Amino acid sequence: MGKIHVANLATRIPEAELVAVCDILPEELARVAGKFNIAVRFPEFTRMLERPDIEAVAICTPSNTHYQLVLEALAARKHVFCEKPLDPAIEKVEEMNAQARARGLHLMVGFNRRFDPNFAKVREIVKSGAIGEPHVVRITSRDPAPPPEQFIRASGGLFLDMTIHDFDMASYLAGSPVTEVYARATVLVDPVFERAGDWDTAVVTLTFANGAMGTIDNSRQAVYGYDQRVEVFGSKGMVTVGNNTPDNHILLDRVGVHSALPLNFFMERYTESYRREMQAFVEAVKANRPVPVTAYDSLMAVVIGLAAAKSVRENRPVKISELYDGGN
Ligand SMILES: NC(=O)c1ccc[n+]([C@@H]2O[C@H](COP(=O)([O-])OP(=O)(O)OC[C@H]3O[C@@H](n4cnc5c(N)ncnc54)[C@H](O)[C@@H]3O)[C@@H](O)[C@H]2O)c1
Per-position DSSP letters for 93-139, written without gaps between them: HHHHHHHHHHHT--EEEE-GGGGSHHHHHHHHHHHHTTT-SEEEEEE
Pocket test for ligand 1, best of 25, 44, 46, 60 (most atoms within 8 A of CB): 60
Ligand 1, atom 7, residue with closest C-alpha: 1
Atom of ligand 1 nearest to the CA of 111: 1
Q: Are 275 and 13 in contact (CB under 8 A)?
A: yes
Q: What is the largest CA-CA distance in the chain?
A: 67
Pocket test for ligand 1, best of 1, 4, 141 (most atoms within 8 A of CB): 1
Q: How far is the CA of 83 from the centre of ligand 1 (A)?
A: 8
Q: How far is the CA of 131 from the centre of ligand 1 (A)?
A: 38
Cα distance between residue 133 and residue 120, in whole Å: 18
Indicate if the alpha-carbon torsion angle 167, 172, 174, 176 is positive or negative. positive
Q: What is the structure's pLDDT at 147? A: 94
Q: How far is the CA of 64 from the centre of ligand 1 (A)?
A: 10
Phi, psi of 107 (to 5 degrees): -135, 110
Ligand 1, atom 30, residue with closest C-alpha: 24
Q: Are 214 and 195 in contact (CB under 8 A)?
A: no
Q: What is the structure's pLDDT at 156? A: 86
Q: How far is the CA of 161 from the centre of ligand 1 (A)?
A: 12
User: For every one of its 328 residues, what pLDDT tens digit does the chain have, with 9 covering 90 and above?
Assistant: 999 999 999 999 999 999 999 999 999 999 999 999 999 999 999 999 999 999 999 999 988 899 999 999 999 999 999 999 899 899 999 999 999 999 999 999 999 999 999 999 999 999 999 999 999 999 999 999 999 999 898 888 999 999 999 999 999 999 999 999 999 999 999 999 999 999 999 999 999 999 999 999 999 999 999 999 999 999 999 999 999 999 999 999 999 999 999 998 999 999 999 999 999 999 999 999 999 999 999 999 999 999 999 999 999 999 999 999 875 5
Q: How far is the CA of 90 from the centre of ligand 1 (A)?
A: 21
Strands 107-110 and 79-83: parallel
Q: What is the structure's pLDDT at 63? A: 87
Atom of ligand 1 nearest to the CA of 23: 34
Specify the 3-state DSSP secondary structure of 2.
helix
Ligand 1, atom 41, residue with closest C-alpha: 63
Cα distance between residue 9 and residue 14, in whole Å: 8
| Beta-carbon-side half-sphere exposure of residue 40 (alpha carbons within 13 Å) | 12
Residues 157/117/133/325 CA torsion (nearest 10 deg) = 40
Which residues line ligand 1 at a C-beta cut-off of 6 Å?
A: 1-2, 22-25, 28, 45, 60-63, 65, 83-84, 110, 112, 266
Q: Are 58 and 278 in contact (CB under 8 A)?
A: yes
Q: How far is the CA of 124 from the centre of ligand 1 (A)?
A: 31
Q: What angle do CA 319, 320, 324 make, to 5 degrees?
A: 135
Which of 166-180 are b and which e, b meaning 16 or more Cβ less than 10 Å from the residue's Cβ? bbbbbbbbbbbebbb
Specify the 3-state DSSP secondary structure of 81.
strand
**Could you tell me the pTM of the whole model?**
0.94
Q: How far is the CA of 186 from the centre of ligand 1 (A)?
A: 27
Q: How far is the CA of 88 from the centre of ligand 1 (A)?
A: 15
| Beta-carbon-side half-sphere exposure of residue 45 (alpha carbons within 13 Å) | 20
Q: What is the structure's pLDDT at 328? A: 52
Q: What is the structure's pLDDT at 271? A: 96
